[in-house]
Structure 1
Amino acid sequence: MDGMTTNMIDTEIARLLAENDRRNEVMFAHFDPVTGEGSIGERVRVCISDFAIPVQWLPVEMMKIQMVKKLVKAGSIDKFLSSVLHVEPNDDDYIKVSRKLIRLRFKHDFPFWAATLVYIHNKKAGKDVLFRLYYPQRILVSRFEAKRKARLPIRLILLKARQWGGSTTTQLYMAWLQFNHRKGLNSLIIAHQGAASDEIKDMFDLMIDRYPVEFLHKLGEAYSENEPKLVGVGKSGSTHRVPQRNCKIKVGTAERPNGCRGGAYSLVHLSEVGLWQKTEGKSPQDIVRSACSGILLEPFTMIVMESTPNGTGNFFHTEYTAAADPTIKSQYEALFISWFQIEQYSKQFASADEMCEFAQWLYENRENAYVPSNREESGRYLWSLWEKGATLEAINWYIEERAGKDDFAVMASEFPSDDVEAFVHSGSMVFDKYRVKKFERFCKQPQYIGEVYADGDEGEDALSNLRFRADRQGLLSIWAMPETFEGYEVVNRYLTVVDVGGRSNKADWSVIVVFDRLSMIDGSEPPSVVAQWYGHCDIDQLAWRAAQIAAFYDNSLLVIESNTLETHDKERQVEGGDQSQYILNQISDIYPNLYARKQSEDEIREGAPRKYGFHTNVSTKPMIISTLIKVVRDRLYIERDKRCLDEYNTYERKQNGAYGAITGKHDDLLMTRAIGLHICFREMDMPEWVPIVNRTLRKDRSPVSEASI
């Protein structure tokens, strides 16, 4: 290694160590919830010299309160009494002002309230302790507070690593709203099973038992030290009331959803939703809908759905994925807490030299994909942890913890590094989620939505005078219109593939996708999805619609998956039996570029009729899926529809060796890509420029607006 290279590495290591110091400073920054220094939200340093806490960092919102503003300006309670209230300073008035200020902080400063009034069990054993927020808990509360301060409803879905108190924080934040902000805020908490609900109830019992009864009343309101603070409601034992605040706290389980029906609730916490089981007569979505249906989108309402990851394709995965996707409108805001945001998952180095050596090893192996054993990860993966924000000490801890597990999926499930890794499935997923995620940057909304129309719906008229009409109710999405060139055309440019579903909303989707292969001529870009029809209709209608779309795109090669037609279910049966081959033959008489399976020499010699459509069977399906795996791995095409990426992430190899979507998910979009990309790369000739002699079909490709119809 020459001197220049050595100096460059030394410079990079120095930068890495400096960045590591910065990350540690953020996570382990001074945090004093009592004084408010380093606490949540924007704060103002104030000095009230004769107050119990002379120097405080108050939430900026408190500075808008006239009493606080004048008290801070006075600089002491004595001076506030004499110069503002114009009374002789005395003990009684001093206590009244002090108590008023404390109560204002309780109302505006959740960390202060929690650290001075709220007792929880000590997980490290020993005496109960006051609730002091850890770093990830402060991240969560910051999200809650941003919504509350903006007077917006709180709707959050939390994906979390294990054991950092996200559930406890959520439940106590709800109690803070109930005790300090509004009377009559009822809360509902649904755990995944009975043991979890017992723990929640035990936490509330401890909290309310140690909670001073005077702070459940208004300042100056009469009360008794012995008055009950939590009383049962009904005979179930699941609902209790805090009479001083006229609010109810109900704790139920997903195992008994009938006891969790929504009532007059404003605050709902849905705990470990990923673990909720779908059984006959109830599903997670049914429970959530029942619990939350009566909650209005108003300030001081709250729905928090949280869980550790539990595979893909379930209700929680679907909801979190939607909330995390900026292109999808979801009621929820997504929050992911990784293991390296939790203080305890960190291992200190024995010395500064050891840390420096580790940093150098990490940097030099950042491209090393070699995995030494099934209890280790590659240097490239460990470097990815650094790029995601982990400190060197956290990565050091990860290496040691990973040595105790012989499966990456187990580690990823318990200690996910990002929200992709978190949903590692217990089954054998076909596609690498990280490689799938790289396709997201190309997904976008279509330029046009509508339908292709002709002079008729079937026969020769179905391909006559083809034109696109923009229509917000249409099912055809277009990212790029077909192109024409003066004097030339590109043959073998477009490819249209059809996966046949059913006609009802509960059936599989029918998909018609169009690929553009023009860039394959010079290799500048991979082929891309340029159009897609996605919906339900009868099989014969779908076949003619596919022919129209294929013809609209330069008489592109039209590939229909025929096995679905040949084996369609009773819902799609028509009088006279299976007419799938008849329908395909109808199209072949009219449409000039219909895909037909290759014939054997015997079939050709005997004059056997051509078999149209791509037949997916036990021989061809592994072949096309293998092609798709390579295409996804090497990013050999451009995807536009993010729903297809979702199908990649829920596609697995079953225990019997077959491929298919996990229970409750679809693979209709995926199959059009598998068939189409196999034909695109394995069977079709390369596209090429040729002079135009006679155009078989002429099409008006310019979109027609709805207003002009």
Structure 2
Amino acid sequence: MDQKLIEIRRRLKDEFAFYSRSAVKIRTKSGDVRPLVLNKVQQKLDEVVEAQYKATGKVRVIILKARQQGLSTYTSAKIYSRISQMKAKKGLVVAHKADSTRALFDMYQRIHAEMPELLKPSTRYSSRRELVFDKLDSGLIVATAGGDGIARGETITHCHLSEVAFWPVATAADNLNALLQAIPNRKDTEVYVESTANGMTGVFYELWQGAVRGENGFIPFFSPWFDSDEYREPVPEGFERTYEEEELAELYGLDDEQLMFRRIKIAQTSREQFMQEYPSCADEAFITSGRPVFNPEQIQELLRNAPEPIARMAVEDGVLREHPRGELLVYHPFDPAEVYTIGADVGMGVRDGDYSVAQILDSRKRQVAVWRGLVHPDYFADILQALGIHYNTARIAPENNNHGILTAVRLGRDLAYPNVFTEVNEGKLNDQHTIAIGFRTNVKTKPLIIDRLRAACRECEIEINDKETLREMLSYIVNEAGQMEAEPGNHDDCVMSLAIANHCHEGKFTPIHVTDDFYIEAI
């Protein structure tokens, strides 16, 4: 083989964009069979995949997609390119229902059938669920989500999991866990999890949030609908933008043809359906199934503009110190002249995966910092004491329900923290009044503090910077029974602790500082 052919063969193996347009043929939306020339969205994904592969030797990517951007096509061609050019590789494709499984496998078979002879591996057999490359000892099998024991006993190297948000709820978690366990954590293995969104619950949403937080080894990939050049419609004469369209155009750089496409799609379905299937940002895609408590548009805007923490800190030996993996995310610098309030929601701890959260507000109701972690209720009191002392002996209001009683009593009695929120419980007739340490959340007080937080958000009286808090607010709903709670599969620890902090805050005000020249200066 001469040097030119060697170079071409190298490019076919190492440069997927070159491989796809030279060797892969797909059926287009118009029914034609054409080479796969990567579109803008596919190019963006390929850059992310290749960067991760070069850095780690493997691929773990979760893809949140809009409708028909070609990302399933990209994934199919990418996996085929790997298993058809490497020895001892086994691919698995799992879709949410049988006809989707067949459609994906048909795509793999078409790619194989149209492959140039130079690149087409020897095939022992190809059935309706399996493609085997005998000389390479590689191959591909397909399955449909919903059955028990998918891939049990198998060792998979390349995995394409499609429309995971729509996998049957009863078996989705077990199937996904089994599949991920079947893939060894070593080089030259690849996992692609892709789906459109389906509410703020389920295994896809949880995996996406874990990827966003950098907790599970997956890289999150999202591309908005307007990255697809075909999502345009001719603009009729006399077209005028609405106020909302003006804002979107300014925010995302949209033109009138893109706005017209959006307008027509909304008219055909609904605004909420458009946001789910054609999202402009990742958080917009996850529409709640219940009635949201907080204004979704306002929370989405806050999420888009949410700052990164200026520091991370951890409690070590009873003192707050900067730490790269600390549980305390800091959004405003500490001010020795400030007055701080801390609201706390107490979780069960490590065994139950139930978070404890402390929200720290300053006098202007700015969310200064958030502590979120898995600790036992008794130790959470020590955490709160350290936070309170650091923040100028802040007023601390721990929730005293259930296991929160242990936190509240330890903080106020055993540790003798001097500034704990207390409530007076009136006795009946001749009974004496009692003083309760902390805040009691019940059927009467919960609607009160949530409504106050909702009003504070609506009137922009509170500044919320933490992304995790904002995401919880998006999934906090009124259910069919009229109760306010987190949508199933989500948390509300950040919401409740913020509601307690807001409720126990003594009122928004601007502190005054005494300068060195003894003048009083309001800031």
Aligned to 1:268: 159
1:158 aligns with 2:63: yes
Cα 1:213/1:631, change in 2 over 3 Å: same
Q: Which runs of 5+ in 1 are unaligned?
A: 1-64, 69-98, 218-227, 363-377, 453-467, 521-525, 573-578, 691-709
Aligned to 1:660: 485
308-317 vs 139-148, which moves further: 139-148
Q: How does 1:335-350 map to 2 (within 5 A)?
A: 335-349=221-235
Secondary structure of the structure 2 residue equivalent to 1:597: strand
Aligned to 2:517: none
**Contact persistence 2:358–2:371 (CA under 8 A):** yes
| Distance in structure 2 (CA, Å) of the matches to 1:205 and 1:146 | 28
Letter in 2 for 1:536: V
Cα 1:342/1:590, change in 2 over 3 Å: closer
Letter in 1 for 2:87: K
Cα 1:556/1:206, change in 2 over 3 Å: closer
Aligned to 1:528: 367
Secondary structure of the structure 2 residue equivalent to 1:310: coil
Aligned to 1:477: 328
Once the two structures are TM-superposed, the CA of residue 273 in structure 1 deviates from its matched residue by 1.6
Cα 1:240/1:335, change in 2 over 3 Å: same
Aligned to 1:695: none
Letter in 2 for 1:649: L
TM-score by length of 2: 0.82
Aligned to 1:240: 131
Give the total of aligned pairs: 510
Once the two structures are TM-superposed, the CA of residue 625 in structure 1 deviates from its matched residue by 1.0
**Contact persistence 2:342–2:360 (CA under 8 A):** yes
1:195 aligns with 2:46: no
| Distance in structure 2 (CA, Å) of the matches to 1:395 and 1:262 | 50
Cα 1:191/1:257, change in 2 over 3 Å: farther
**Contact persistence 1:512–1:534 (CA under 8 A):** no
Letter in 1 for 2:413: I
Aligned to 1:502: 348
Letter in 1 for 2:60: R
Aligned to 2:423: 597
Once the two structures are TM-superposed, the CA of residue 155 in structure 1 deviates from its matched residue by 2.9
Aligned to 2:211: 323
Secondary structure of the structure 1 residue equivalent to 2:423: coil
Q: CA RMSD in A?
A: 4.0
**Contact persistence 2:145–2:172 (CA under 8 A):** no
Q: Which runs of 5+ in 2 are unaligned?
A: 515-523
Q: How does 1:483-562 map to 2 (within 5 A)?
A: 493-506=339-352, 508-517=354-363, 520=364, 526-530=365-369, 532=371, 534-539=373-378, 542-543=380-381, 546=384, 549-550=387-388, 553-562=391-400
Query: 470, 479, 501: which one pairs with 1:676?
Result: 501
Cα 1:609/1:170, change in 2 over 3 Å: closer
Letter in 2 for 1:67: Q
Once the two structures are TM-superposed, the CA of residue 161 in structure 1 deviates from its matched residue by 1.0
| Distance in structure 2 (CA, Å) of the matches to 1:135 and 1:397 | 18
**Contact persistence 1:499–1:560 (CA under 8 A):** yes
Aligned to 2:289: 426
1:615 aligns with 2:506: no
Deviations 1:163-198 (A, max 9, x none): 23311221112212333x433332222222222211
**Contact persistence 1:450–1:476 (CA under 8 A):** no
Aligned to 1:40: none
**Contact persistence 1:544–1:587 (CA under 8 A):** no
Cα 1:295/1:553, change in 2 over 3 Å: closer
1:229 aligns with 2:75: no
Secondary structure of the structure 2 residue equivalent to 1:400: helix
Aligned to 1:465: none
Aligned to 2:518: none
Deviations 1:366-419 (A, max 9, x none): xxxxxxxxxxxx4234531453143321212222222222x3111111221221
Secondary structure of the structure 2 residue equivalent to 1:258: coil
Aligned to 2:278: 415
Cα 1:427/1:251, change in 2 over 3 Å: same
**Contact persistence 2:91–2:159 (CA under 8 A):** yes
Cα 1:188/1:430, change in 2 over 3 Å: same
Deviations 1:420-466 (A, max 9, x none): 221122222333231440562153432454242xxxxxxxxxxxxxx
| Distance in structure 2 (CA, Å) of the matches to 1:285 and 1:262 | 14
| Distance in structure 1 (CA, Å) of the matches to 2:89 and 2:433 | 76
Once the two structures are TM-superposed, the CA of residue 313 in structure 1 deviates from its matched residue by 3.4
Once the two structures are TM-superposed, the CA of residue 513 in structure 1 deviates from its matched residue by 4.1
Deviations 1:225-281 (A, max 9, x none): xxx735159xxx643312243311121222135232474433221211222234269
**Contact persistence 2:197–2:286 (CA under 8 A):** yes
Aligned to 2:309: 443
Secondary structure of the structure 2 residue equivalent to 1:216: coil
501-510 vs 340-349, which moves further: 501-510
Cα 1:190/1:102, change in 2 over 3 Å: same
| Distance in structure 2 (CA, Å) of the matches to 1:115 and 1:549 | 58
1:311 aligns with 2:199: yes
| Percentage of pairs with the same residue | 23
| Distance in structure 1 (CA, Å) of the matches to 2:172 and 2:164 | 17
1:67 aligns with 2:3: yes
Query: 245, 249, 254: which one pairs with 2:140?
Result: 249
Deviations 1:633-665 (A, max 9, x none): 455445565433332233222111111112222
| Distance in structure 2 (CA, Å) of the matches to 1:304 and 1:111 | 18
| Distance in structure 2 (CA, Å) of the matches to 1:414 and 1:66 | 49
| Distance in structure 1 (CA, Å) of the matches to 2:120 and 2:309 | 52
**Contact persistence 2:381–2:407 (CA under 8 A):** no
Aligned to 1:224: none
Letter in 2 for 1:159: L
